[in-house]
Structure 1
């Protein structure tokens, strides 16, 4: 009964703004999970959450048939047993794109809960290009650069995105950036990994490529990143009490930018640069 009421309410809202339900679902997408829930049959998507109490969560918010290959990568990373994972998967035989919910609007309750309880977050999404390329973004620029270097050193083509690119993943509203405060004081955000269709298709058809790619990310998250975190904590401690409204936040950001400007070519170099 509740869901039927939501459907009626959502329809009335859409009609008021002169937007047909078909055009809304297939063209502009949903603005939040409540609208998606109201219009879509629950049997045509599935939510998979694995919370093992780790400090890092990896998400595929456009999994299954929505952006093929993203679920496969997150499942491969889940296999290491070191991360919480979340998947929202389309199960339709066709038109899974109607289930697409932008990262800046993704507010499914289980995903929100898991991210808010995590120190570090990584979101895997897809882009349409047939080239084999990965685009790295998100607010956590150091972790993004670390993952980038691990992938590049394995032979993958990786590019860093920033504003104004639409998939830069740097907006506060992006679910990947809503994790815990770093050092209990500063919103460091997460990392968004946008992978081309050409590469994602290979994840589905070639397990060796999937395993090689996922092992690179796993090494970045579980081996290199723990070596960097203590150095970032020291930087934060030298800035006083850090929070989103404190001017010292800008000093922290500046120090991060200075680290990145050194242009590390390997993960080891980046780790060393954070020590200085």
Structure 2
């Protein structure tokens, strides 16, 4: 009986923690776009795409009424004219949550094609909570940290997610991680930005906050990130030779140096760039 009580308590704690981060943490949703399209009226959703041939794509897979504020942010970033953008938007008068598809199941063909041909990807989704918090995850830890530092410098409350958080965005099946191989070598993955309802509501109604928030992300992507990419290419080009090369030590060496840069604990974007530069020259 005691063991059973502990199990029940553990489940309650897990449920409480998960639901505090994402209202959709336990939502099954549709398992594919084909399943959604077969069940839903086409007039209840729309797909907006702007492919300008950029190396960076920004997604809102739960836009419109599904997770209010996400497509507004992507549209604001689209305004800078530097990124491919994609939004899947719910248009129902109510119950747009019924159009939900998990990021790991999101396979709408236009989105998949856009991500597959992009070097870098960012997905904006929603999280629960009336407070104003940004949760950042995804496989591209370096870009995630860069965006975090830019947002933090502007006074935003940002938390980094990883396993076992349900919206950490680290799974290979997550659409944001299906971009092109970095430097034709290996999968770098993308960044998933989960924004609390409180902040999303503000982004949807306050143009000043929307412009500031989107401008900060744009600065990270268009100003700081290209510098870091060149430094990462330098790390990747420092390839090992000899016997160990047949076991592909390049990826291991690359990951090790990126992790070393992250462990230095940069306090701002400039410091992160300097830390990546330092490890690239070792």
Shorter-chain TM-score: what band? 0.7 to 0.9
Please give the per-residue CA displacement for 1:105-159, whole angstroms capped at 9, x wherever unaligned: 0000000000011010000000011110000000111100000000000000001
Match of 1:32 in 2: 32
Match of 1:145 in 2: 145
Match of 2:221 in 1: 221
Displacement after TM superposition at 1:250 (Å) = 2.5
Answering whether residue 259 of structure 2 is matched by residue 275 of structure 1, we say: no
Displacement after TM superposition at 1:99 (Å) = 0.4
Answering whether residue 266 of structure 2 is matched by residue 257 of structure 1, we say: no
Match of 1:104 in 2: 104
Match of 1:188 in 2: 188
**Structure-1 separation of matches of 2:96 and 2:62:** 9
CA gap 1:45/1:252 in 2 versus in 1, 3 angstroms: same
Equivalent pairs counted in the alignment come to 248
Match of 1:168 in 2: 168
Tell me the TM-score normalized by structure 1. 0.88
Match of 1:15 in 2: none
**8 Å contact from structure 1 (residues 120, 189) kept in 2:** yes
Displacement after TM superposition at 1:248 (Å) = 3.3
Q: Secondary structure of the equivalent of 2:182?
A: coil
Displacement after TM superposition at 1:40 (Å) = 0.6
- The equivalent position to 1:248 in structure 2, one of 237, 247, 250, is 250
**Structure-1 separation of matches of 2:190 and 2:166:** 16
Please give the per-residue CA displacement for 1:216-255, whole angstroms capped at 9, x wherever unaligned: 00000000001111110111111459xxx94532222121
Match of 1:177 in 2: 177
**8 Å contact from structure 2 (residues 134, 159) kept in 1:** yes
**Structure-2 separation of matches of 1:99 and 1:250:** 40
Displacement after TM superposition at 1:256 (Å) = 1.0
CA gap 1:240/1:123 in 2 versus in 1, 3 angstroms: farther
Match of 2:133 in 1: 133
Unaligned runs of 5+ in 1: 1-25
Displacement after TM superposition at 1:186 (Å) = 1.1
**Structure-1 separation of matches of 2:272 and 2:39:** 47
Match of 2:120 in 1: 120
CA gap 1:231/1:43 in 2 versus in 1, 3 angstroms: same
Q: Secondary structure of the equivalent of 2:187?
A: coil
**8 Å contact from structure 2 (residues 28, 102) kept in 1:** no
**Structure-1 separation of matches of 2:171 and 2:236:** 22
Tell me the TM-score normalized by structure 2. 0.86
**Structure-1 separation of matches of 2:217 and 2:197:** 18
Unaligned runs of 5+ in 2: 1-25, 242-246
Q: Secondary structure of the equivalent of 1:195?
A: strand
Please give the per-residue CA displacement for 1:157-198, whole angstroms capped at 9, x wherever unaligned: 001001111100011100000001001111001000000000
Match of 1:88 in 2: 88
C-alpha root-mean-square deviation of aligned residues, in Å?
Answer: 1.4
**8 Å contact from structure 1 (residues 239, 252) kept in 2:** no
**8 Å contact from structure 1 (residues 65, 89) kept in 2:** yes
